[in-house]
């Protein structure tokens, strides 16, 4: 366990902005996490900061950050501590010949946050394979075990988000399979497979396909890469709109795909044809890739990724978020909700 006072959180988030933590406790195992939760009743939780915008005034009180932990396999069941880097879990599962997590290769962040958020990529959601979660219950002041099928999973949401601060994910268990569990239907990934002559029925090739597709989409962030683009991934959730508005928004796609192909992609990404891509909503509202506001810009490949340039402040990112929300509401009548967690005070 490492304890630091008045330490900068900017370097602990993928956006690279934000103020100090009054007291930061970095825990490296499930046991250390439980100990720190027992000792501190009030805290803010931070994983690897890949989905968080922390204000310039920082976080008062205690911040607990699980970073590190164990992965254990028993036949086709794998259990990971919340501080495990998600992609380490994916890679070890693949090395063990187990299917079920491979389409989420290279989603950055911790197992705990992945469970809290129900990460989803290329048609595979974490919730598809969770069998149980051990969580700290702040009210009962103890660790409890929750069955995976009782956790109200939805598109990028979970029981844990809905319950607010009551629970902290300690460990998550996944039931994986020695045979394929998900089809790969996402067109851009299939294009990669064809171009690179990779076989979608082979587990190791699936990972290579996904990693390449993510590189092409500007969706890679690696924790030890100092030159990584400073982004929190897709900034907004894909919204649900009516069928008519969905058609209108889809018509702003510039990739040359047919409306049917796009609807299929929307289904794979968001579970429904009328959950349209937030990126299409932004394009329909006049935002373009690479648009820049002083030290904040939209990614050159993916309009949905807000990036910071050196010297940016968290308030600038927040202001850009507000401007995008306001414009999308005015121009297309869609309320874009942030997928990124907004932590601390903003003006």
Ligand X SMILES: Cc1cc2nc3c(=O)[nH]c(=O)nc-3n(C[C@H](O)[C@H](O)[C@H](O)COP(=O)(O)OP(=O)(O)OC[C@H]3O[C@@H](n4cnc5c(N)ncnc54)[C@H](O)[C@@H]3O)c2cc1C
- The residues of the shown chain that bind ligand X, judged by CB under 6 A, are 14, 45-52, 66, 82, 107-110, 112-114, 116-117, 119-121, 160, 168-169, 219, 221, 231-233, 341
Rank residues 47 and 338 by Cβ distance to ligand X and give the closer one: 47
278 phi, psi to nearest 5 deg: -60, -25
Least distance in Å: CB of 243 to ligand X?
Answer: 25
- Tokens of residue 241, six digits: 């709109």
Rank residues 117 and 324 by Cβ distance to ligand X and give the closer one: 117
CA atoms within 13 A on the CB side of 77: 9
Least distance in Å: CB of 120 to ligand X?
Answer: 5
Rank residues 108 and 332 by Cβ distance to ligand X and give the closer one: 108
Tally Cβ neighbours within 10 Å of residue 345.
Answer: 13
Least distance in Å: CB of 333 to ligand X?
Answer: 26
Rank residues 124 and 332 by Cβ distance to ligand X and give the closer one: 124
Least distance in Å: CB of 49 to ligand X?
Answer: 5
Rank residues 79 and 168 by Cβ distance to ligand X and give the closer one: 168
Least distance in Å: CB of 98 to ligand X?
Answer: 20
Least distance in Å: CB of 325 to ligand X?
Answer: 19
Least distance in Å: CB of 70 to ligand X?
Answer: 14
Rank residues 212 and 332 by Cβ distance to ligand X and give the closer one: 212
Rank residues 90 and 328 by Cβ distance to ligand X and give the closer one: 90
């Amino acid at each position: 366990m490492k304890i630091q006072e008045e330490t900068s959180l900017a370097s602990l988030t993928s956006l690279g902005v934000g103020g100090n933590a009054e007291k930061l406790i970095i825990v490296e195992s499930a046991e250390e996490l439980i100990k720190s939760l027992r000792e501190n009743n009030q805290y803010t939780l931070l994983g690897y900061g890949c989905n968080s915008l922390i204000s310039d005034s920082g976080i008062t009180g205690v911040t607990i950050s699980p970073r590190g932990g164990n992965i254990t396999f028993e036949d086709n069941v794998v259990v990971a501590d919340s501080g495990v880097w998600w992609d380490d879990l994916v890679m070890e599962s693949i090395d063990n010949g187990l299917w079920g997590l491979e389409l989420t290769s290279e989603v950055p962040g911790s197992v705990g946050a992945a469970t809290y958020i129900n990460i989803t990529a290329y048609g595979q959601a974490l919730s598809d394979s969770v069998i149980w979660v051990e969580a700290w219950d702040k009210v009962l002041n103890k660790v409890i075990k929750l069955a995976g099928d009782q956790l109200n999973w939805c598109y990028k949401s979970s029981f844990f988000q809905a319950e607010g601060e009551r629970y902290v994910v300690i460990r998550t268990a996944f039931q994986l399979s020695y045979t394929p569990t998900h089809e790969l239907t996402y067109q851009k990934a299939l294009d990669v497979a064809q171009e690179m002559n990779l076989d979608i029925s082979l587990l190791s090739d699936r990972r290579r396909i996904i990693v390449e597709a993510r590189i092409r989409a500007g969706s890679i962030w690696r924790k030890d890469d100092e030159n990584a683009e400073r982004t929190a991934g897709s900034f907004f959730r894909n919204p649900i709109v009516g069928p008519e508005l969905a058609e209108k928004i889809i018509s702003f796609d510039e990739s040359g795909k047919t409306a049917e192909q796009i609807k299929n992609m929307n289904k794979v990404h968001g579970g429904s044809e009328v959950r349209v891509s937030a990126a299409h909503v932004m394009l329909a509202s006049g935002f373009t890739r690479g648009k820049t506001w002083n030290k904040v810009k939209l990614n050159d490949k993916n309009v949905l990724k807000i990036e910071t340039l050196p010297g940016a402040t968290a308030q600038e990112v927040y202001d850009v978020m507000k401007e995008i929300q306001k414009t999308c509401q005015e121009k297309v009548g869609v309320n874009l909700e942030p997928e990124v967690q907004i932590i601390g005070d903003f003006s």
